[in-house]
Chain A
Amino acid sequence: MGNKQTIFTDEQLDAYQDCTFFTRKEILRMTHQKGMPFPCPKLHGRYHEMAPNVVPMDYTKDPDVKLPMQLIINMPELKENPFKERIVESFSEDGEGSLSFNDFVDMFSVLSEMAPRELKAIYAFKIYDFNTDNFICKSDLEKTLNKLTREELTAEEITLVCEKVIEEADMDGDGKLGFADFENMISKAPDFLSTFHIRI
């Protein structure tokens, strides 16, 4: 194996293993991707596959490569998700939706099965916070609802639901959900962990 082309150095793999919920095996699982002459790491393979011309095969030098959101949200894992743009934006470092490989790994690490509830809650909050003002306010809720139901509810129904959500979860009474409110609510939700989870 030593003579094969390496994508990551050992240190990098170790570091990734410490910083994500992927095991070495998962990062390194050899999968024969289409059109690739040799097996390549799974996560990197998925990243590479989206833009084979841009993403280098050698990551030992930490190249500064970013993929635009349009490519990422067309992954089969994200394609059907109504919040795909928000997910990608939340994990991108510049907030505009382009993901470097680090962000990419980060995203699937947080969304993996092993990530703890607290971590997931933080990112879920970011995802549902559409206007990134650190609060989930009414307009965020409306957007979420419209995305969830494909805008099939009437305006009154939407208002009613949003008011109910705020009434239920807003503990400090400021008319919008801060992170503390959100966390308090989501920590009691029975299926948050099972639904906020993507397998890659």
Chain B
Amino acid sequence: MGKKKKCALAVIMEDAGIEIDGQVESDTESEEDEAKEKTPKRKPRREAVRPNRLKREKQQKDKEEDESKEEDNGPRQNRASKRKKHQRKNSDGKKTEEGVSHKRERDKKAPNKEQKDSENKEKKTNKEKGKERENKEKKERKNSTPSTTSSSSDEESLSEEELAMLMEQVEQKKKLISTMRNKPWRMVKKLSMLREAQAFVEKFEGALGKGKGKKLYAYKIMMAKKWVKFKRDFANFKTQCIPWEMKIKEVESHFGSSVASYFIFLRWMYGVNLVLFGLIFGLVIIPEVLMGMPYGSMPRKTVPRAEQATAMDFSVLWDFEGYIKYSALFYGYYNNQRTIGWLKYRLPMAYFMVGISIFGYSLMVVIRSMARNANESTGEGDDENFTFSWKMFTSWDYLIGNPETADNKFASITTSFKESIVDEQESNKDENIHLRRFLRVLANVLIICCLCGSGYLIYFVVKRSQTFSKMQNIGWYERNEVEIVMSLLGMFCPPLFETIAALENYHPRIGLKWQLGRIFALFLGNLYTFLLALMDDVNEKLAEEDVLRNITHWTLLNHYNSSVGNGSTATPPPLDPADVPRGPCWETTVGIEFVRLTVSDILVTYVTILVGDFIRACFVRFVNYCWCWDLEAGFPSYAEFDISGNVLGLVFNQGMIWMGTFYAPGLVGINVLRLLTSMYFQCWAVMSSNVPHERVFKASKSNNFYMGLLLLILFLSLLPVAYTIMSLPPSFDCGPFSGKKRMYEVIQETIELDFPLFVAKIFSYVANPGLIIPAVLLMVLAIYYLNAVSEAYQRANAELKKKMQMLREEEKNKRNNKATTNSAMQDLEDLFKPSMKSESHPKHVEDKKTEPPNKTSPVGKQGKAAAEDGSPINSRRGAVLTPPLRMLVTQPPTPGIRAPYPGQPRPGAYPEGPVPWRGRGQPRYPHAAP
């Protein structure tokens, strides 16, 4: 091996992260020399095998010494590289257990080899060694007998069979070397075994050919390491990219996954709203601001003269009137010009399409997320088998080194245990099933009564308000009756429902779902009244518009006529846009309503949190020092986090956003801000002023229930928007669709004007009811089919689960009957062995095997261990962990049958069999005798 080559190898290895110490380089030359010497050195020794037995023995000793010397200062580098090669060779399909079993097999099969090998290195003289030496010598003799006369090398002298055996052993040793790190041995043992195996391989290496591809191996190793590192970094990066992950984890660790599920839902909503925001701002608002006609150029883009004086007042702006009303945030600001700017951007078309695609995108995202959650929840079937065990043994993260993180982790582990305990207690609760059923039915009846009552109340109040609105000079209460009733219902019904739900005694997770569903139903009434009021408003505005349209027309005509009448031939000076009388623009009104509602909702939520949670917590915390009773444990106490209320608030708020966005494009921006702030605000509030629930429960794995509510709200909010688009005429003087009979005509217009004729034709064919009805039919059929298929799969799944469960039981039984000794088990025992210098000796395995009395007398062993070691602790340990005792434990305890330990008096057990000194009439038990 030339120096050049070696240096190249060193460079590669350095690249691979296998740095080579400076010493190696300095040693290289001497190593080379030695490597050169190695061959000639060996040959004479091997040639020296002579028929004379005595002489041969002497020679043998010399050889041993030589070899051991060679080992000590031999060419390590060379050997290391050789080892690399073997590792590469054997890297495929090696397993620890396999290695262990191999080793054991080998130990049994050819102890001679082992011993010989170990002897080569460690010069210890004891009796066994002497025996082994004899064995070895016999073997040597056998090896050399066929070629006593020849003076050739050992390898040639070996027969084919023996050569094969040797090669196999070398292979095994190499395997051992490459899997050494996987062995659960003490380091000392590992080191000595390694040295031994290396020596063996070194010695008999010559029999095998040398492999190539060290470079490739080094390269491969390097790439593997880089890849692992890259993957780890990427995973870290990915988790860092998830916003608020740490915040939510912290909340989860203290309040449980149910509270965290709300925050996860909030985060998801934020993501969806960001996309909606991007769509609307990118495709509607920004083009309008950049390329549309500027403010003040048209009547719809100008504040009317009557309002101009107060248009900048804060109180007006706060009501979203004045300048805000006439801005790009609302529907009315947009012009009906077909294209704007030098890009010929079709703004009305874009407005319509964005309005539609917001719903399309939301539907798609909600449904996709639901489907994925459903997949995940069915994907992990084997999960329930080891819930507690895994929590117990794998929940602590050994990487944690920071006290705060550790505190959080302790809290989260405790919480998760409590969650599982609640689940567990729920599942094996034995109870009066009939009483429970009766109570549940009763509770549902009560709640349905409540819901019906409040529904009727709402209906009644709304009816009354319609008659009130026709009357003149009505009082404050009559005007605000609907709102008052609604907020009273919203205040008192949820606690009432909760009280009734206590009757049902559901698991808190299921209880939460029921509670959510019931409050949802209640809030639907809220929505209904709101929409009803809005529709009344719109109809009123529409009627007003008809009148105004004529007035506007006449005003413009008069203006024109007057200028004509004045005799001026030039074009009349245009009427100032602020002076033009204009319609009520119901779309903007609706938009403003939604914006107002959203903003007041935000304020109410935040104020509630501040007062209800924070002030209360402060009060309880600080007034507690000087109060009659314990405030913390008693009446006011700290607030719990209201999951159902918060989730429903979020869901209904999102419904408002979906409904309102078509009329107020800026609404999504407000909502994004709201979600962002409430994430921080609520996280802070929860951590600072709330206490965990009394029964911390685990959220369902998928928050599909929340998603289901969201889907329902999405559908409900789609209806009014679709209704206005399809069947209400847009205002005549504001918004992108002014001048059209219906809003959707913008599509037809685009198709007719901008697309070639045949597209219009195709479109008209497609819109034909004769095509649509079959398409709908086809879809229904497809749904039916897919539903059937999924049901079949579910059945199969359940069947498989049952089978797996049965298999598991069977396995349990089998293991029960079978008392096999695991090889890994034995290694474990080795580990528990007290540390003795002799243990580092690789022969101790055989030592143990050749000691028959150990098998039956753990006491003897214990004594021996104690005698050998002297340390009392070690002897105790040794006694506890010796294999015989394990047998004793695993076997059924039958102390009576077991023979007494030699040298020990029989323990106070009852003697069995005939007792010689027991005569007739004597009591059986001597100590029971009088």
A: which residues have CB within 8 A of B? 1-4, 6, 9-11, 13-15, 17-21, 23-26, 28, 76-77, 79-83, 93-96, 102-103, 105-106, 109, 111, 113, 115-116, 118-119, 122-126, 128, 132-135, 141, 144-145, 148-150, 152-153, 157, 160-161, 164-165, 168-169, 171-174, 178-180, 182-183, 185-186, 188-192, 194-199
Complexed CA–CA distance, A199 and B397 (Å):
12
A150 close to B80 (CB less than 8 A): no
Give the residues from 859 to 878 in chain B that come closer than 8 angstroms, CB to CB, to chain A: 873-874, 877
B96 close to A116 (CB less than 8 A): yes
Question: Which of chain A's residues have a CB closer than 8 A to the CB of B27?
Answer: 10
Given contacts A188-B386, A195-B395, 14 further A-B contacts (CB under 8 A): A10-B23, A11-B76, A17-B18, A81-B400, A94-B835, A126-B831, A134-B832, A149-B410, A153-B421, A157-B418, A161-B392, A165-B392, A182-B393, A191-B394
The answer, yes or no, to whether B190 is at the interface (CB within 8 Å) is yes
| Contact A161-B386, Cβ < 8 Å, known A122-B828, A148-B396, A198-B398 | no
Interface residues of B, CB < 8 Å — how many? 85
A80 close to B402 (CB less than 8 A): yes
Question: Which of chain A's residues have a CB closer than 8 A to the CB of B95?
Answer: 118
Give, as a whole number of angstroms, the nearest-CB distance from A47 to chain B: 13
B424 close to A180 (CB less than 8 A): no
The answer, yes or no, to whether B577 is at the interface (CB within 8 Å) is no
| Contact A183-B824, Cβ < 8 Å, known A19-B180, A164-B424, A188-B386 | yes
The answer, yes or no, to whether B919 is at the interface (CB within 8 Å) is no
B393 close to A185 (CB less than 8 A): yes
| Contact A134-B886, Cβ < 8 Å, known A95-B834, A122-B184, A189-B386 | yes
Count A-B pairs with CB separation below 8 Å. 234
B186 close to A103 (CB less than 8 A): yes
Segment at the interface with A among B355-363, B811-819, B848-856 = B811-819
Query: Quick one: which of A11, A132, A135, A160 contacts B421, CB cutoff 8 A?
Result: A160
A165 close to B388 (CB less than 8 A): yes
The answer, yes or no, to whether B188 is at the interface (CB within 8 Å) is yes
Question: Which of chain B's residues have a CB closer than 8 A to the CB of A189?
Answer: 386, 389-390, 393-394
The answer, yes or no, to whether B399 is at the interface (CB within 8 Å) is yes
B: which residues have CB within 8 A of A? 17-27, 76-77, 80, 83, 95-97, 177, 180-184, 186-188, 190-191, 194-195, 225, 228, 382, 385-390, 392-403, 405-406, 410, 413-414, 417-418, 420-421, 424-425, 811-812, 815-816, 822, 824-825, 827-829, 831-832, 834-835, 873-874, 877, 880-881, 886, 889-890
A179 close to B831 (CB less than 8 A): no
B20 close to A179 (CB less than 8 A): no
Give, as a whole number of angstroms, the nearest-CB distance from B709 to chain A: 30
20 residue pairs bridging A and B, Cβ less than 8 Å apart: A1-B25, A2-B26, A9-B23, A15-B195, A18-B83, A77-B401, A79-B401, A95-B832, A122-B824, A126-B828, A126-B831, A148-B392, A153-B421, A161-B392, A164-B387, A164-B424, A165-B392, A182-B393, A183-B824, A189-B389
B403 close to A80 (CB less than 8 A): yes
A132 close to B18 (CB less than 8 A): no
- Greatest chain B CB density within 10 A among A113, A119, A126 is at A119
Complexed CA–CA distance, A150 and B399 (Å):
18
Query: Quick one: which of A11, A102, A113, A118 contacts B96, CB cutoff 8 A?
Result: A118
| Contact A172-B815, Cβ < 8 Å, known A80-B403, A148-B395 | yes
B389 close to A102 (CB less than 8 A): no
- A-B pairs with lowest CB-CB distance, top 7: A1-B22, A102-B187, A2-B22, A80-B406, A93-B835, A2-B26, A164-B388
Question: Which of chain A's residues have a CB closer than 8 A to the CB of B816?
Answer: 171-173
Complexed CA–CA distance, A79 and B382 (Å):
35
Question: Which of chain A's residues have a CB closer than 8 A to the CB of B406?
Answer: 80
A118 close to B401 (CB less than 8 A): no
Question: Which of chain A's residues have a CB closer than 8 A to the CB of B26?
Answer: 2
Give, as a whole number of angstroms, the nearest-CB distance from A145 to chain B: 7
Measured CB to CB, the nearest residue on chain B to A135 is B889
